[in-house]
Amino acid sequence: MSSSDQLNRYLFDNLHARGELVQLSSTFQNIVKAHNYPEGVKALLGELITVTSLLTATLKLEGEIAVQLQGDGPVDYFAVNANHQQEIRGIAKVTQATNAVGLKDLVGKGNMIITIRPTKGEPYQGVVALEHDTLAQCLSHYFEVSEQIPTKLWLFHNKENSEVAGALVQLLPDSDDKAQQLNDFEHLCQLTDTIKPEEIFTLDAETLLYRLYHQETVRIFEPQAVTNKCSCSRDKCESAIIHLGESEIKEIITQDGSLNMTCDYCLTNYQFDEQHLLQLINQNKH
């Protein structure tokens, strides 16, 4: 794979469609390295990370997006958060030991919940039943039903090198010729269907896009770096402690003498000794 994790957006001159390509190695590795997930869980989380990156790039706004999978399977939930700067984090909550592989066996009967929180404006949420066999099919269905824009996704996971990648093609409703728009979309989907895993994991974006669409004119925008960045902080932990209230904080001091808080996502541990907890109580009085 290319030396840095990147998302590429591109347009097709003379065709009513757009595309995205994301290739992730260190970002994915950093998210999963400390969690000891089963291989099937790791693969599906990688797909969800890829999906969230692609979804974030479709938004024409500043803000955050959260994508969750919840169901009655052996994994309680998968959750990935990202922002318009392609800073991303993810987690899977495994409630029982499992060797299961794939969306249906890991999540069971459930939903995908997409929450978008713009920096300006009201948050909004979409809920999609996980009625299809793959995450890519579920997302295509989401766009068809919720956004009414034909969209197709391709998701890849390289177990050996712990890499993930994905592509997206979306119809652009930028003319009155609906039939031509759909023809362009289906034509590009057929070309994108020919992506081979060994290509998406070894070729840089420009080379891969040329191989796929060499008969078309592709306009590639400036690539955007994708990074793993957790939004946890000591300040957020302090705010959470203050919200417990004075009596509960004093009870913690009496029972334990200190408090440890660990971020579920990145497993960073924040420690607060008795003196610090008393300071937080005093701070809340002013």
Backbone φ, ψ for residue 167 (5° rounding): -135, 155
Residues facing 92 on adjacent strands: 78
Mean pLDDT computed over 211-239: 94
Q: What is the pLDDT of residue 2?
A: 44
3-state SS, residue 119: coil
pLDDT at 169 over 90: yes
Provide DSSP, 91-106: EEEE-S-----SHHHH
Q: How far is CA 5 from CA 200, 224, 229, in A?
A: 12, 9, 13
The mean pLDDT of 188-197, rounded to a whole number, is 96
What percentage of the chain has pLDDT greater than the value 90?
82
Q: Which residue has the higher pLDDT, 134 or 4?
A: 134
Handedness of CA 174, 155, 44, 42 (dihedral sign): negative
Task: Please give the single-letter amino acid code of residue 217.
Answer: T
Distance of alpha carbon 145 from alpha carbon 37, whole angstroms: 33
Separation between Cα atoms, residue 140 and residue 80, nearest integer Å: 18
| Angle (nearest 5°) at CA 85 between 78 and 16 | 90
Quote the mean pLDDT of the chain: 93
pLDDT, residue 1, reads: 44
**Cα–Cα distance measured from residue 253 to residue 233, given in angstroms and rounded to the nearest whole number:** 22
Q: What is the mean pLDDT of residues 109-137?
A: 93
User: Taking residues 14-27, what's their average pLDDT?
Assistant: 95
Tokens of 137: 């099919």
From CA 90, how far away is CA 277, in angstroms rounded? Answer: 30
pLDDT at 281: 86
pLDDT digits (tens, 9 = 90+) for 199-217: 999 999 999 999 999 999 9
Location of structure tokens 């099937």? 40
Token pair in block for residue 182: 């759909």
Confidence of residue 286 (pLDDT cuts 50, 70, 90): low
Q: With beta carbons less than 8 A apart as the criterion, state whether 11 and 219 touch.
A: yes
Is residue 154 predicted with pLDDT exceeding 60?
A: yes
β-sheet bridge partners, residue 146: none
Between β-strands 227-228 and 87-94, what pairing exists: parallel, antiparallel or unpaired? parallel
What percentage of the chain has pLDDT greater than the value 70?
A: 98
Phi, psi of 182 (to 5 degrees): -65, -40
Contacts of 92 (CB under 8 A, 6+ apart): 35, 37, 41, 44, 45, 75, 77, 78, 79
